[in-house]
Amino acid sequence: MSGAGDDHDLHESLRTNVRDLCARFSDTYWRELEVDRAYPEAFVTTLTEAGYLASLIPEEYGGSGLGITEAAIILEEINRSGANSAACHAQMYIMGTLLRHGSDEQKARYLPAIASGRLRLQAFGVTEPTTGSDTTQLKTEAIRTGDRYVVNGQKVFISRAEHSDLLLLLVRTTPIDKVQKRSDGLSVLLVDMREAIGHGITIRPIRTMMNHATTELFIENLVVPVENLIGQEGKGFRYLLDGLNAERILIAAECVGDGRWFIERCRRYATERVVFGRPIGQNQGVQFPIATAHIKIEAANLMRDRAAELFDQGRPCGAEANMAKYLAAEASWEAANVAVQTFGGYGFAEDYDIERKFRETRLYQVAPVSTNLILSYVAEHVLGLPRSY
Ligand SMILES: Cc1cc2nc3c(=O)[nH]c(=O)nc-3n(C[C@H](O)[C@H](O)[C@H](O)COP(=O)(O)OP(=O)(O)OC[C@H]3O[C@@H](n4cnc5c(N)ncnc54)[C@H](O)[C@@H]3O)c2cc1C
């Protein structure tokens, strides 16, 4: 059994090792990728080879069997280095669907390959153009004929689909007017993208304000063998919910990482930049916003630690995970804004990376879930207020 001291040492060495790895990928590396909106292939490969993306995969399947606390530390350190975990974070949280609900055969087939890096499971297809946040209304349908499903529909903002071998796809297998609850009748299919592209799936990249490799998927008569159904047919929405706490905690950690990166850059710049014969950071008008942003990041971090601790103990953590994501996304955005102000004109110059991280961290108030939906969760499920949708 490990004690608190052992955990502290493990976490510190994990942080040091991830930092050392990230230091091999400079600001210039990330900046240059932006020009062509290129995928950080070398970075993702290096992380995979070092085993970090397999941290949540149990040891029996070739992963390191660590907890969400450690996975969160890895993603936090990536973002804290100036890099962007969005290139690869999904592998950590969507793998849980396969681990918790996949059959023994599916787990034995895919998890060791994912852990070793032979296969990438980086894509999760939920969002659709006509239904957005209202997930249970999604229109992509899979009709079973014999031992296969035939899938038709459309997905939007499906990230890393071009860089992933596998896609977890949420589809409706029973029409909504034939189920008792609208959350019934949805299923998760594991799609092999190497076979599907050009044979049922067409990908159209969506250029966004940051380098994010997101895409639109057009699905036409895609054939998926029934053996690729994860868990039970019709229970897919439940499986999606099961993975949300992990996702919220990991995204919160990324935001904390972004926030700490902004604060550190502000601290250095405000100390070095001399205007009116004094470092700008000597002016309280400059230092107070930085201090305020720092306080908010550290407060969000406490909530993230609490949520991760509960998660790893197998205790309910929906409230804490959602609140951590909310607080951290707000705090990183405030830190980003303060950084632009602190850097003045240079905050807008690409060479300083502030504007890049500013764009990147803004995402987390919209995706993977928008702030309003988190507030709605807390209002309804934590405070018992009337359901609004
Ligand atoms: C870069 C990027 C990457 C993404 N990656 C993925 C991915 O890999 N896989 C995937 O499945 N999806 C992905 N998404 C989609 C993302 O999860 C959705 O954009 C998000 O869930 C919101 O859905 P929407 O864009 O359709 O907004 P809408 O649902 O149309 O909402 C628009 C606005 O209205 C608000 N709103 C809607 N209904 C209510 C309500 N009842 N009460 C209060 N406010 C409400 C929302 O909060 C939001 O601010 C990604 C999105 C982006 C931008």
List, for residues 80-95, the tens digit of each pLDDT value.
Answer: 999 999 999 999 989 9
> Is the pLDDT confidence value at 110 over 60?
yes
Question: Which of the listed residues 127, 171, 326 should we mutate to test ligand 1's pocket, taking the one with most ligand atoms within 8 A of CB?
Answer: 127
Strand partners, 167: 123, 191
Mean pLDDT value across residues 90-105? 94
**Is there a contact between 294 and 261 (Cβ–Cβ < 8 Å)?**
no
Average pLDDT of the chain is 97
Distance (angstroms) between ligand 1 centre and the Cα of 133 equals 5
Mean pLDDT value across residues 234-242? 96
For ligand 1, say whether the CB of 21 is within 6 Å of any of its atoms. no
Distance (angstroms) between ligand 1 centre and the Cα of 262 equals 26
**Which atom number of ligand 1 is nearest to the Cα of residue 128?**
26
Tokens encoding 195: 């076979």
Q: What is the pLDDT of residue 111?
A: 97
> Is the pLDDT confidence value at 1 over 90?
no
**Which atom number of ligand 1 is nearest to the Cα of residue 370?**
47
> Is the pLDDT confidence value at 2 over 90?
no
* Among the listed residues 149, 137, 208, 204, the one whose alpha carbon sits nearest the alpha carbon of residue 177: 137
Q: What is the pLDDT of residue 5?
A: 73
For ligand 1, say whether the CB of 159 is within 6 Å of any of its atoms. yes
**Which atom number of ligand 1 is nearest to the Cα of residue 212?**
1
Rounded Cα distance between 79 and 268, Å, is: 18
pLDDT tens by residue, 5-51 = 789 999 999 999 999 999 999 999 999 999 999 999 999 999 999 99
Question: Which of the listed residues 91, 157, 206, 207 should we mutate to test ligand 1's pocket, taking the one with most ligand atoms within 8 A of CB?
Answer: 157
Distance (angstroms) between ligand 1 centre and the Cα of 109 equals 33
Question: Which of the listed residues 156, 206, 370 should we mutate to test ligand 1's pocket, taking the one with most ligand atoms within 8 A of CB?
Answer: 370
Rounded Cα distance between 93 and 250, Å, is: 8
pLDDT classification of 360: cutoffs 50, 70, 90: very high
Q: Is 273 left (phi over 0), alpha (psi -120 to 50) or beta?
A: beta
Q: Give percent of the chain above pLDDT 70.
A: 99
Nearest residue CA, atom 9 of ligand 1?
158
Q: What is the pLDDT of residue 79?
A: 98
Q: What is the pLDDT of residue 234?
A: 98
The model carries a pTM of: 0.97
159's CB contacts (< 8 A; 6+ apart) are: 86, 90, 122, 123, 212, 213, 214, 215
Q: What is the pLDDT of residue 275?
A: 98
For ligand 1, say whether the CB of 93 is within 6 Å of any of its atoms. no
pLDDT tens by residue, 312-334 = 999 999 999 999 999 999 999 99
For ligand 1, say whether the CB of 363 is within 6 Å of any of its atoms. yes
Nearest residue CA, atom 19 of ligand 1?
367
Strands 148-159, 166-172: pairing kind: unpaired
Nearest residue CA, atom 2 of ligand 1?
157
Distance (angstroms) between ligand 1 centre and the Cα of 370 equals 6
Rounded Cα distance between 331 and 159, Å, is: 24
Tokens encoding 141: 């349908």
pLDDT tens by residue, 190-211 = 999 999 999 999 999 999 999 9
pLDDT classification of 3: cutoffs 50, 70, 90: low
Q: What is the pLDDT of residue 4?
A: 65
Nearest residue CA, atom 43 of ligand 1?
372
For ligand 1, say whether the CB of 373 is within 6 Å of any of its atoms. yes
